[in-house]
A and B are shown apart, each in its own frame.
Chain A
Amino acid sequence: MNLENNFIKHSKEYIFSDNKILSNQRESAFKKITQKNYDKKNNESLKNITINDLSKFDYFYKPIKEDPTVSLTDDLNYEIKLFNGICKHYEDDFIEIRNLTNLDFKTLLNQDNNNLDDIIIDFNKIFLNSGIFFNIKSEAKLNIRLTHETSDNFTIFQNNFINFKKRCKVKLEDNFNLTNNSINNINYNINVEEDATIKHNIFQNFANSNKLYLTSNTVCEKKSSYSQNTYNFSDGFVRNFHHVKLNGEFSNASLRGCFFLKDKNICSNKTNVKHNAENCISDQTYKGILNDHSKASYYSNTFVSENAQKTQGYQLSKGILLTDNCSFFSKPELRIFADDVKCSHGSTIGPVDESALYYLRSRGISKNDAMKMIISSFIQEDLQNLDKDIAERVSKNLSDYLTSLVND
């Protein structure tokens, strides 16, 4: 079905379709996409996708009966299950979770300006059908395990807000349990207040009939720390676009990711850190292994504004191509307007290190095993910095991926 039909036909089903601010936003986003002179050529959000492909989908969303849950395994560990974009309302001394209300949109919307040229965000605005509000209270120290479950054929267009209050210390784990033919366009707006420390791990591992467009916009205040790790083992299309603004002095952010692609899978990545204050540190590192006919792109960008002196910014992108039919595009950008900075980026794309392969084989290791060893070592250093249970999960997924390589 084309975009126009979708838009008009389902106009009553969108969240708060009667909200004036929202419907204005919807209208203008719709107009923007459909206008003829829309610049598609230089639009980074359209790498590997076309507006036509995006527009052709069956919009399907309805409120569900099955209950989302919130449970506590012990004092610190929260298990939160979102079902088709809906959460169960929960509040205690440390945390508050609820579905967005009409009122929230007046205060919360219009916050992001990272996404001016992001067509996926335009789609998110047009078809918005759900949204969750998380509030992690001051001083809270806790772990959250968040699972997004989506039923067959569902289309989720979600805008979430997470507020990490002062001095809280949180490990947030994002999991995607998608069944079949779902489209998930999820946008996070994350605010990290003074002295808060956040570790955000994101696992993506689902079947190839699903699509996930994940975007996050994080703002870090003074002395706060936000570190994000994404692991993409999915057979389905994944887009990871993550933006951070370091607005407070002495804050730091790291955006790291690994992706493991096979078949005809496509993965589109972007990270973007904007240094707006002095003495901040950032790290953007993405690594990927590509097999078969897979395709990946990675845009990274360190922006240092005029007043962000004593910035340290680091970027790295690494790709290993296993066959002649895969391709990797990377564009690591530095935009620097302050002079007292240390910024760098490195990028390598190539095959598995032949000399390492030769060395291992000369020690009697089979070619397949040698390949596995080298590929594992490629992300080993990243695993070392992870908590044990997460590292184990990644290792398990990696080993599954490698098995599938060898069996090909």
Chain B
Amino acid sequence: MIFLNINNLNVSIEGKKILNDFNISINEGEVHAIMGPNGCGKSTLANVLAGNEDYEVNSGKVIFKDEDLLNSNIEERAQKGLFLAFQYPVEIPGVNITPFLHASINSKLKNEKKPELDNLSFAKLLRKKAEELGISNDMLKRSINTGFSGGEKKRYEILQMSILNPELTIFDETDSGLDVDALRIVAEGINKFKNPKNSYLIITHYQKLLDYIHPDYVHVMRSGKIVKSGDISLATEIEASGYQKF
């Protein structure tokens, strides 16, 4: 099976070209990190994969689990097992996490033609996962991301990921704006749910997060394409001498 294959992807926003013949291949169970300076198109990549309608795909192909990903809309991609951990998770006042995630996981189960979860078993699942992540009951009662600190929001994203159990998770600069402690908590959360079936694409500006989550591959991105690929040593190299030389 082809898990994820992006082939010569060209993307623009409001006529401005952002991704430029972009290529990458990810197999089941792999952890990839994409690093790059501001404005190289990292976040665009994350949003295009998630199906954000603001971006225009000019050409190229994206195959996800043997299917053409670009033909699906946002929710269909999510239901197929693609999860985007947002850089800035939006606040949704008045909407509680429980009904929200419940509807979310059932949409996925329905798509997989599996039985949906009833209220009780979902509540149990949610409580269990929250406990594992050290998320208090009180936090589960609040509206989605509303009034949360940066770290709390990111932890909330990890909680959602752990419940939806996506095959591919994309972290869009999850580490931005986090202090070291928050960073560690997020990384621990990610490590806890890592398994050989699931793959991760970590988009980041700094090496720090990669100290906690050990990627199998590291790619350097500049001007809308990958310019160099390697292992974790590449990240160390960037930390030491910056992006200039790429």
A and B touch in the complex (CB under 8 A): no
